[in-house]
A = this chain, B = another copy of it.
Amino acid sequence: MPDEYILNKIAAQLKATDKATVKQQKILDTAIRMFAEKGYSNTSTAEIAKEAGVSEVTIFRNYKTKENLLMSVILPFVTDLTPVLTEEFIGELKKACNSFEEFIRMMIYNRYNFIKSNKDIFQVVIKEIVYHEDLFKELLPEISRNALEFFNKTINTFKARGEIIDIPNGTMIRMMISLVIGYFTTRFVILKDSQLIDETSEIEYLIGFIINGLKKR
């Protein structure tokens, strides 16, 4: 039942994004901006319609319900959030990553840039994640399955090489994600541009912290 539910939503959403006419894109962009700014609950479809310069009905014809519109905003981003582990990308990674440190650095910078260029959607996701636990709890494993597999393999490799300490992979991954998401949230949702900081050095500290926290000595 819950699976069906979610799959329905994905289906509806995919159908919607398939075409992506000019008006649809305008609606989507406006929705993203407003959800990010005021939150989903506090943004009315009337406001979105007005800002997007379309009639309210147009939204509903394209997205059926307001929640569906939210899904159409969130899902593509969440799907892309775990790095696309194409053969190509993995190859690149393997070539580039001679050490655990390089691996971490590459991943973090990669995701940092991805989120940076999708600030608004990231805000929406963070703000809504807590209200759609069920969705995310079911969605994430599915989405991250191959990513997880890859992570596990990689961690095991570095463990075998004796580079990193021996705590359960799940715990380790959760710690890292906590730290990274926590940093991104502070940076893009809480502080936003109100306190411009020296990006690079902050990220380097973050990387250093993780590396040291996991490095075997």
Contacts and interface: CB of A to CB of B under 8 A. Distances in A.
Interface stretch (A15-23, A82-90, A106-114, A173-181): A173-181
Interface stretch (A142-150, A151-159, A203-211): A203-211
Nearest to A168: B205
A138 B179 CA distance: 24
How many copies, total?
4
A167 B208 contact: yes
A131 interface: yes
Contacts of A174: 186
Contact of A42 (B41, B177, B179, B194): B41
A175 B209 contact: yes
Given A41-B42, A127-B130, A181-B182, A175 B217 contact: no
A214 interface: yes
A7 to B, nearest CB: 21
B130 A126 contact: yes
Contacts of A11: none
B175 A206 contact: yes
* Residue of A165, A167, A213 ringed by the most chain B CB atoms within 10 A: A213
Interface of A: 38-39, 41-42, 123, 126-127, 129-131, 133, 136-137, 165, 167-168, 171, 174-175, 177-179, 181-183, 185-186, 189-190, 192, 194, 202, 205-206, 208-210, 212-215, 217
